[in-house]
Amino acid sequence: MTSARQGIVGALDQKEQFQALLVRCRTAVEAGPPAAAITTRGRRRTGLSQERTASILGVSVRSYGDFERGLTRAEPEFLDRVASVLHMTAHERHVMFLLATGQEPPQPFTSQLSSVPAYQLALDSSVLPGYLSNRCWDIELTNQAFRDIWAGKELPTNVLRYILMSKQAREDVLLDWDAGWALPFLRQQRAALNASPWEPGLVELQRELEDAADADKPLRKLMKRSMDDEYVHPNGDTRLIRHPEWGPTRITLLMTRPLDAASGHRFVWLVPPKPIDQMP
């Protein structure tokens, strides 16, 4: 066999492996009766049909069929959408990227913490207000000291949405809102998008911000200003906040990451200027 022929066979084998992987993952999805695949002979089987998969991904059936057969090249963002829709494991996603692009995935595919009770216990054991958020700024865990700051007020569920789109945050809780909070966090969002452009949650959050800015002149002006400079949040940075018991207080923001840092999770602690028992 000539080397050219070996190359053709290798390419065919790679496409066959790619198709086999996607078909196996697609048919293994626990789709339930409404979305269960129907074969051309009318027999119902488990998993997702090509038609259903294409619909969820927002592409034509023909486009998805060509993709599954390895006939078209896909961008990393689309590959990650496929991995999510087909409920791929980290290993399956890794293999899919290698077969499709010849390169490693841009980020490990993990968004779940392995020991949530232990992380919650760590938060609950601290007298400092703290929370755990994910790559998309969603707040997943908090402690009582953190919840006390918002006693009787809207409790943040997403850091960026609260800081940038909550009227209550702007007017009543976050002091020096424009320069101290909004501007640096807009720049952090841009940095997060640059680092993880394939992350649907960050893309959707940016779309929400742009929509909100259409009707919010101060936010719109700050979004334009945020493009003038870069910003990476340093540990030990300070912000002004109105605490229900301490009053106006300059807090220090400290961040730590779990060992599975690739998941994007982070602990954030709000540290007052004095020990808690010495605060007003």
CATH number at residue 172: 3.30.450.180
64 and 145 housed in the same domain:
no
What radius of gyration do the chain's Cα atoms show?
24
51 and 143 housed in the same domain:
no
32 and 138 housed in the same domain:
no
What token pair was written down for 17?
Answer: 């492996």
Whether 109 is in a domain gets the answer: no
Whether 198 is in a domain gets the answer: yes
Whether 83 is in a domain gets the answer: yes
* Nearest partner of 182 among 218, 214, 210, judged by Cα: 218
**pLDDT above 80 for 46:** no
* pLDDT tens sequence across 54-92: 988 888 999 999 999 999 988 888 898 898 888 887 778
* pLDDT tens sequence across 138-155: 999 999 999 999 888 888
* pLDDT tens sequence across 173-224: 999 999 999 999 999 998 888 777 767 788 889 999 999 999 999 999 999 9
Domain boundary among 71, 101, 131: 101
For the chain, the straight-line distance linking the first and the last C-alpha, in angstroms and rounded, comes to: 83
17 and 83 housed in the same domain:
yes
Q: Range of 139's domain?
A: 116-278
* Nearest partner of 254 among 168, 131, 162, 147, judged by Cα: 131
- Helical pair 76-85 and 90-101, crossing angle rounded to 10 deg: 140
230 and 201 housed in the same domain:
yes
10 and 49 housed in the same domain:
yes
**pLDDT above 50 for 277:** yes
Query: DSSP secondary-structure letter at 238?
Result: E
Share of the chain above pLDDT 70, in %: 84
What would the mean pLDDT of 219-233 be, rounded to a whole number? 85
Whether 171 is in a domain gets the answer: yes
